[in-house]
Amino acid sequence: MADHVDITLWIDRRWKDAIEKHLKGETLQEHLENVLDELCNQLPEQEYERISCAIQSEAAAQRAKKEAARTYAAYHVTERGQEWYFKTSPGEELLVACKKLRGYVAAEKGTAPDKFIGMFFGGQPITAKEFDALTAVRMENTGKVRGVFDVNFDKREFSAVHIMDGWRTWAMRDVSPSVYLATRSRFASADEQTIGAAGWHGNHLGGTSLRAEFFLQ
């Protein structure tokens, strides 16, 4: 972690204004920062290299720590004959991804993006190979990848990776009612919601209802 020190200098504003008139577009602060950089560059080479390497190593360790704590979701979207692969961070779990899909398909004309990928501000494009790698991490259940989804509007199917069983696919028409039924009672206890979920079997292509899956993820 960088060991920054705050250096504060006090000067009458009239001196500051007068000096800046002769600095050719620089502020006094910018000029003093450049002076500090020059003083660092004048240090003995061995000392300069030692400190530079230490600062760079600390910065790299900090970036690695942030990346280790970051979580993702991965998407493969097919819509109108086009395909997109992208990831999001911190990433969506199954219910949140379904809510986004429901918001897209149920939106009135002109109130939603032209494409489903427009629902994900800040999504980062990835390759099919990277998507497969994130799928493998999801199956490892490390918590690094919160969800992996295949959203195929051309086939009208929605798929998600289950950490035990791999890919599960549902008819897209079942997403909206499943989300509604899973979230309709804001005051129901977690046990009541789970019991209700387990007892509801909508149309699905696998062996588990989508609504029940929300509580199994």
How many Å apart are CA 209 and CA 198, to the nearest integer?
8
CA atoms within 13 A on the CB side of 68: 6
Confidence of residue 194 (pLDDT cuts 50, 70, 90): very low
CA distances from 181 to 6, 113, 169, 188, 214 (A): 56, 25, 19, 12, 11
The model's pLDDT over 153-177, given as tens digits with 9 standing for 90+, comes to: 999 999 999 998 899 999 999 888 8
Q: What is the pTM of this model?
A: 0.68
Alpha-carbon gap, residue 201 to 190, rounded angstroms: 19
Contact 86, 124 (CB under 8 A): yes
Highest mean pLDDT of the ranges 10-19, 193-202, 203-212: 10-19
